[in-house]
Structure 1
């Protein structure tokens, strides 16, 4: 392929259009209360799927550190409700666990 520009433009359109079309079509419409409530849970569901997949596919030496990091992040998130603090604590504890075990 001589130029990657058509490929980049095509990938941009394929990525952007599915986000733009619903926004353009549902801009001034009233959405059902149940549908709106359902759509609020999608980010949490997506994040949960990524976390579970990360735990299940972690390398053999990383499984303990992964579970410990997720556990501490879940506990801090439940107690404090602060996303940034819980993620940083999970990363820090995972890092310390990996360095201690190796």
Structure 2
């Protein structure tokens, strides 16, 4: 327990270096289309990797979660608002849980 402050300090330094080094070392514009494309999609891929497992385990029955996810996908591809997609997906999960779980 006495090394907790050391762990926190090391974690803070590593986090700071990860964020600070690209800003100081890379001063010119990135011209590579591949690198630009990669960096453009990193936030979306990270968000998807963090939320997809949570979507599947959000309810007691995975079938209800999958039904809500399917509704959310369909509505989002039809360019509905975020609030509409979220409310409809939650409603589908709620109704599916009412009928799926005895």
Q: Partner of 2:62 in structure 1?
A: 63
Gaps of 5+ in 1: none
Alpha-carbon offset, residue 70 of structure 1: 1.4
Q: Partner of 1:32 in structure 2?
A: 31
* TM norm structure 2: 0.65
The number of equivalent residue pairs is 100
Residues 89 and 60 of structure 1: CA distance in aligned 2, closer, same or farther (over 3 Å): closer
Alpha-carbon offset, residue 23 of structure 1: 2.7
Residues 29 and 77 of structure 1: CA distance in aligned 2, closer, same or farther (over 3 Å): same
Larger Rg: 2
In structure 2, distance between residues paired with 1:65 and 1:48:
19
- Indicate if the aligned counterparts of 1:55 and 1:63 stay in contact, CA closer than 8 A: no
Q: Partner of 2:15 in structure 1?
A: 15
Residues 52 and 13 of structure 1: CA distance in aligned 2, closer, same or farther (over 3 Å): same
Gaps of 5+ in 2: none
